[in-house]
A and B are shown apart, each in its own frame.
Chain A
Amino acid sequence: MADRLTERSNPPLRDPLQEPAWLRALLIGAAVLSMALLVVLPLAMVLASAFGDGFRAWWEALAEPDALSALRLTLFTAAIVIPINAIFGLFAAWALTRFEFRGKRVLLAFIDLPFAVSPVVAGLCLVLLFGTNGWLHGVLQEHDIKILFARPGIVLATLFVTFPFVVRELVPLMQQQGADEELAARSLGAGAWTMFRRVTLPNIKWGLLYGVLLCGARAMGEFGAVSVVSGHIRGLTNTLPLHVEILYNEFDGTAAFAVASLLAGLALVTLILKFWLEARHGDALAHSHRRH
């Protein structure tokens, strides 16, 4: 019966599980256009304006003393905030993922709080604590400590805002990995520090790095909360983002964008590192960061 087919191959049929090609092209085009308008354009603007008056002007804006002290303050803040949030974050993640106790869910919810709070509100909270009539104002007066309109205030505000980053990376990761390896280490007689150093830390190192990266990026870019507590004193209590604001409000567009380009460069480096981490060590990060 067989009407034997010739050697000619079958022409390709439409995949039943795909939209028609024109629709696909339209959707891709729309997505790319939206992203270009929303995301690419601002980045391009920063670069164009920063270098619009030439490399010289860019460099001079950055080398300006107020800009340099803003840079120093930003780096100083990050250098304090990152280790604190990382170390305490580690402890918190350890407690949350290796033990059972009541109130675990509440604790986890509280850790997410800074994400839900507007940065301005965060700044306000600190003002209420340390400002005149604040709870801790009396204590501060006695010891002649200045929190608001000074570095400590900026550090505390940044600490608040970047609080969850490291914990949120470590908790799902450590939960996924489970306690088996650490239990094995203990059963073999390892002490707490040895267990941590030789079993836990190597397992979480990429997740930790990822969290630190996000924490640092946010710490250096924070604006709202710091704006409220800093007092905007040039050369003293201005971080890089605040300095950008001052320059912009003084209509010094090129300088503002020059400093902004520094921050944008930081953002790009963060993105690249993030991307690299996910690509190279995706299996060592929490599931939500797996890349295909």
Chain B
Amino acid sequence: MQLHVQGLTKHYPGVAALDGIDLDIASGELVALLGPSGSGKTTLLRVIAGLLHADKGRVLFGETDATRLSLRERNVGFVFQHYALFRHMTVAENIGFGLRSRPRARRPDKATISKRVQELLQLVQLPEHGGRYPDQLSGGQKQRIALARALAIDPSVLLLDEPFGALDAKVRVELRRWLRKLHERTGQTTLFVTHDQDEALELADRVVVMRAGKVEQVGTPDQIYNAPATPYVFEFIGRANVLEGRVEQGRFQSGALQLDAADTQDGPARLYVRPHDLVLSEPGSGALPARVRGVLRLGGRVTSELEIAGHARLLEQETFDAGGAPGLSVGEAVHLRPTRYRVFAHAD
């Protein structure tokens, strides 16, 4: 089921939670809404679900304008951060709740519901747990049951609100991988909200980076990471070194550093480069001289802090620890060159 959002706007007193959001999600895609708190990602999810009502704009499920439909009528599968399982019902009763609550005309018979519940329990790999109560389950198990419950009603889209936010780090990683596999099996159009970029980049087909109610960039994880469209996205995802300079006639200049910047207009600008995209090079045309101020080895990576003449902030350069290689030493003078980078005009 395709999902389209057009011109969605929602205001709260004094703040625009959503400011004209347009989004197109293809059928079967797994899309992440990524951003810090206040970016509007949860608001967007809730508007799509029908838990909140937008001031302007439309939400379309396929061809149907869902904007006028109530939460009940939209048939979305919503999974809450804190599971919201019904405490006094068994796992099986929870999963079957949606089907059992249908008006008599549309309600399947008991046997069918039972069968479906069992199928879903198998799908989420908790086949023996039907008779348990939610408080007898672990956090990860509860989340899987919540998913099963949402899937039971055969939703048009699956909406997950920070699904792993309440779990331990290790469980989170496991469940992430598990969700990816589940998605490949069900092919359900899925939208999930997260503030954890690792999660978004690892899990999603496409990532929507949001900030202050607007969409900053939409793209595959690769695009988001390697070709950020704005300085904000560059700094929000991964780590970034920032260098002030100027662009003149398609060339970025900062001190001795000279780089190609054909797409950027002339004027003051900033260079953005990731620590692992900085390599040591020979002194020469356009290379940046630097002095090593600190070296940190952690988890197979070597991070060097480098001082650039005329800049307050230290640059970070990162390489993998090639087993035993001496690496840089403090005080050493080196030359750097970025292999991948972005230059953004910076209006002062």
Residues of A within 8 A of B (CB): 1-5, 7-10, 12-17
Q: Are B70 and A13 in contact (CB under 8 A)?
A: yes
Q: Are A12 and B53 in contact (CB under 8 A)?
A: yes
Q: Are B56 and A13 in contact (CB under 8 A)?
A: no
Q: Are A16 and B56 in contact (CB under 8 A)?
A: no
Q: How far, in angstroms, from A9 to B67 measured CA to CA in the complex?
A: 12
Q: Are B70 and A14 in contact (CB under 8 A)?
A: yes
Q: How far, in angstroms, from A256 to B57 measured CA to CA in the complex?
A: 68
Q: Besides A5-B57, A15-B53, 5 other CB < 8 A contacts?
A: A3-B6, A5-B7, A10-B67, A12-B53, A13-B70
Task: Write out the residue numbers on chain B whose beta carbons fall within 8 Å of the beta carbon of A12.
Answer: 53
Contact of B6 among A5, A7, A9, A17 (CB under 8 A): A5
Q: Are A16 and B71 in contact (CB under 8 A)?
A: yes
Shortest beta-carbon distance, B101 to chain A, in Å?
14
Q: Are A16 and B50 in contact (CB under 8 A)?
A: yes
Task: Write out the residue numbers on chain A whose beta carbons fall within 8 Å of the beta carbon of B22.
Answer: 2
Q: Can you sample 8 A-B contacts with CB below 8 Å?
A: A3-B6, A4-B7, A5-B58, A9-B55, A10-B56, A12-B53, A13-B68, A16-B72
Shortest beta-carbon distance, B269 to chain A, in Å?
34
Residues of B within 8 A of A (CB): 4, 6-7, 22, 50-51, 53-58, 67-68, 70-72
Q: Are A10 and B71 in contact (CB under 8 A)?
A: no
Q: How far, in angstroms, from A2 to B72 measured CA to CA in the complex?
A: 26
- Which residue on chain B has the smallest CB distance to residue A14? B70
Contact of A9 among B50, B56, B70 (CB under 8 A): B56
Task: Write out the residue numbers on chain A whose beta carbons fall within 8 Å of the beta carbon of B58.
Answer: 5
Given contacts A10-B67, A13-B68, A16-B72, contact A5 B56 (CB under 8 A): yes
Q: Are A7 and B72 in contact (CB under 8 A)?
A: no
Q: How far, in angstroms, from A10 to B7 measured CA to CA in the complex?
A: 12
Task: Write out the residue numbers on chain B whose beta carbons fall within 8 Å of the beta carbon of A10.
Answer: 53-57, 67
Shortest beta-carbon distance, B308 to chain A, in Å?
46
Q: How far, in angstroms, from A5 to B57 measured CA to CA in the complex?
A: 7
Task: Write out the residue numbers on chain B whose beta carbons fall within 8 Å of the beta carbon of A17.
Answer: 71
Shortest beta-carbon distance, B251 to chain A, in Å?
39
- Which residue on chain A has the smallest CB distance to residue B22? A2
Instruction: Describe A's contact surface by its main secondary structure.
Output: loop
Task: Write out the residue numbers on chain B whose beta carbons fall within 8 Å of the beta carbon of A9.
Answer: 55-56
Q: How far, in angstroms, from A16 to B66 measured CA to CA in the complex?
A: 14
Q: How far, in angstroms, from A5 to B241 measured CA to CA in the complex?
A: 41
- Which residue on chain B has the smallest CB distance to residue A2? B6
Given contacts A5-B57, A9-B55, A10-B55, contact A16 B70 (CB under 8 A): yes
Shortest beta-carbon distance, B72 to chain A, in Å?
6
Q: How far, in angstroms, from A5 to B53 measured CA to CA in the complex?
A: 16
Shortest beta-carbon distance, B50 to chain A, in Å?
6
Q: How far, in angstroms, from A1 to B5 measured CA to CA in the complex?
A: 12
- Which residue on chain A has the smallest CB distance to residue B56? A9
Task: Write out the residue numbers on chain B whose beta carbons fall within 8 Å of the beta carbon of A1.
Answer: 4
Task: Write out the residue numbers on chain A whose beta carbons fall within 8 Å of the beta carbon of B57.
Answer: 5, 10
Task: Write out the residue numbers on chain B whose beta carbons fall within 8 Å of the beta carbon of A2.
Answer: 4, 6, 22
Task: Write out the residue numbers on chain B whose beta carbons fall within 8 Å of the beta carbon of A15.
Answer: 53
Task: Write out the residue numbers on chain B whose beta carbons fall within 8 Å of the beta carbon of A14.
Answer: 70
Q: How far, in angstroms, from A14 to B67 measured CA to CA in the complex?
A: 12
- Which residue on chain A has the smallest CB distance to residue B74? A16
- Which residue on chain A has the smallest CB distance to residue B57? A5
Task: Write out the residue numbers on chain A whose beta carbons fall within 8 Å of the beta carbon of B4.
Answer: 1-2
Q: How far, in angstroms, from A210 to B70 measured CA to CA in the complex?
A: 46
Task: Write out the residue numbers on chain B whose beta carbons fall within 8 Å of the beta carbon of A4.
Answer: 6-7
- Which residue on chain A has the smallest CB distance to residue B72? A16
Shortest beta-carbon distance, B218 to chain A, in Å?
15
- Which residue on chain B has the smallest CB distance to residue A8? B56
Task: Write out the residue numbers on chain A whose beta carbons fall within 8 Å of the beta carbon of B51.
Answer: 16
Q: How far, in angstroms, from A13 to B73 measured CA to CA in the complex?
A: 13
Task: Write out the residue numbers on chain B whose beta carbons fall within 8 Å of the beta carbon of A3.
Answer: 6
Q: How far, in angstroms, from A13 to B51 measured CA to CA in the complex?
A: 11
Task: Write out the residue numbers on chain A whose beta carbons fall within 8 Å of the beta carbon of B6.
Answer: 2-5
Question: Which 3 interchain pairs have the tightest Cβ spacing?
Answer: A16-B71, A16-B70, A5-B7
- Which residue on chain A has the smallest CB distance to residue B70? A16
Q: How far, in angstroms, from A129 to B71 measured CA to CA in the complex?
A: 67
Shortest beta-carbon distance, B42 to chain A, in Å?
17
Task: Write out the residue numbers on chain B whose beta carbons fall within 8 Å of the beta carbon of A8.
Answer: 56
Shortest beta-carbon distance, A11 to chain B, in Å?
9
Q: How far, in angstroms, from A32 to B25 measured CA to CA in the complex?
A: 50
- Which residue on chain B has the smallest CB distance to residue A15? B53
Task: Write out the residue numbers on chain A whose beta carbons fall within 8 Å of the beta carbon of B55.
Answer: 9-10
Task: Write out the residue numbers on chain A whose beta carbons fall within 8 Å of the beta carbon of B56.
Answer: 5, 7-10
Shortest beta-carbon distance, A1 to chain B, in Å?
8
Task: Write out the residue numbers on chain A whose beta carbons fall within 8 Å of the beta carbon of B53.
Answer: 10, 12-13, 15
Task: Write out the residue numbers on chain A whose beta carbons fall within 8 Å of the beta carbon of B67.
Answer: 10
Task: Write out the residue numbers on chain B whose beta carbons fall within 8 Å of the beta carbon of A13.
Answer: 53, 68, 70
Q: How far, in angstroms, from A14 to B50 measured CA to CA in the complex?
A: 11
Shortest beta-carbon distance, A217 to chain B, in Å?
38
Task: Write out the residue numbers on chain B whose beta carbons fall within 8 Å of the beta carbon of A7.
Answer: 56
Task: Write out the residue numbers on chain A whose beta carbons fall within 8 Å of the beta carbon of B70.
Answer: 13-14, 16
Shortest beta-carbon distance, A63 to chain B, in Å?
57
- Which residue on chain B has the smallest CB distance to residue A5? B7
Shortest beta-carbon distance, B140 to chain A, in Å?
28
Q: How far, in angstroms, from A14 to B22 measured CA to CA in the complex?
A: 24
Q: How far, in angstroms, from A14 to B68 measured CA to CA in the complex?
A: 10
- Which residue on chain A has the smallest CB distance to residue B73? A16
Shortest beta-carbon distance, A4 to chain B, in Å?
7
- Which residue on chain A has the smallest CB distance to residue B9? A9
Q: How far, in angstroms, from A231 to B22 measured CA to CA in the complex?
A: 83
Task: Write out the residue numbers on chain A whose beta carbons fall within 8 Å of the beta carbon of B7.
Answer: 4-5
